[in-house]
Amino acid sequence: MGRQLPALVEIATAEAQPRARSVYLPSGTHIRLFAVPVTDSVGRVAAVQAWAGPRSRPIPARPAVGVISWPEPATGLAVTTPAAETLLDTGTTGGATRPLADLLGRLAVLEDRLGLLQLLDPAADRHRWSALAVSRGHASATGRSLFLAATRHADPPGVTAVVCDVSAAHPPAPTPVSELLVRAVPAPRRHGIAVVDLATGLVHDWIRPAPEPVHRWRRQHPIIHPHDQVRLAETRTRLIGGAPRAALRWRLRFEPADRWTCIHTRWTVLTRTPTPQAMLDIRLANPRIVDTGTAPDDHGEEPL
């Protein structure tokens, strides 16, 4: 049976279909083997659930396993399966496409968050990541312990994670007091506070939502003005290179037909290892709505 089950898993993976097999041990015991693929949102096999047991034993119910895919990791946009949405307790019945901060915002606790950011960074030499997490229980008001395991793959390029409920073995831990404290500290009026990964530019946590209309950033990936993209990259490079802080005005919108919204951002480096992170303080610039012309004036703020 030691060779039969791995072989059955390989077949189920290659054919993307459940497979079963019966084997007889030297003792004469009749053993049943089952392998059931777990697929992502487009039908690719991300994992296989396997079980082996005597014919006399009832087949156990298969636990839910969700899949989260990043087809373009540099964007941070994650595509989830319905099972993943259920495990994350989002209240969504089908799959969804979520910005990274929206996805991770469904978790009250996530071990090794920076390791996941390294996995999503195409320039980082990391290919696997796993961690325990605790859901916030947005829909059910009941947190659950989750195990996530992700790999980076080249064909097709991207990152794929599987998620399952491990609450029976690891009861959900309470949210750390430090986490509650950070989110309870008052922020300046009409300021948004976020955490950004400087290597990728991905915003992965919102401490305070930004003022309208930039509050949409939490649930929707923004479009950055083409004239400002280089300036943003230069700002991140300076911060990675040792600058402790920076300031920059730039433009974004969320739909191609929208007018550009100009925001003022202050960046403060929080940590440089294992991957640099910064706090992003966001407020609306004046004027807020701008044309598509030259880059906005920083009005004597810290040069970038």
Query: Could you state, in order of their start, the residue ranges of all structural domains in the chain?
Result: 3-54, 65-165, 185-284
Q: What is the pLDDT of residue 273?
A: 87
pLDDT less than 50: residues of the chain: 298-304
Q: Specify the CATH number of the domain 185-284.
A: 3.30.450.20
Distance (Å, whole) CA 42 – CA 120? 20
Backbone angles phi, psi at 294, to 5 degrees: -70, 170
In residues, how long is the chain?
Answer: 304
DSSP letter at 303 equals -
Burial of 289 (0-12, 13-18, 19+ CB in 10 A): middle
CATH number belonging to domain 65-165: 3.30.450.20
Do 65-165 and 185-284 come out as alike in CATH topology?
Answer: yes
Using an 8 Å Cβ cutoff, are 8 and 33 in contact? yes
pTM: 0.91
Q: What is the pLDDT of residue 293?
A: 52
What pLDDT is attached to residue 26?
Answer: 87
Predicted local distance difference test score (pLDDT) of residue 8? 97
State residue 100's pLDDT score.
Answer: 98
Per-residue pLDDT reduced to its tens digit, 32-75:
999 999 999 999 999 999 999 999 899 899 999 999 999 999 99
254: CB partners within 8 A, 6+ apart = 213, 216, 217, 220, 222, 223
Alpha-carbon distance 9 to 36, whole Å?
8
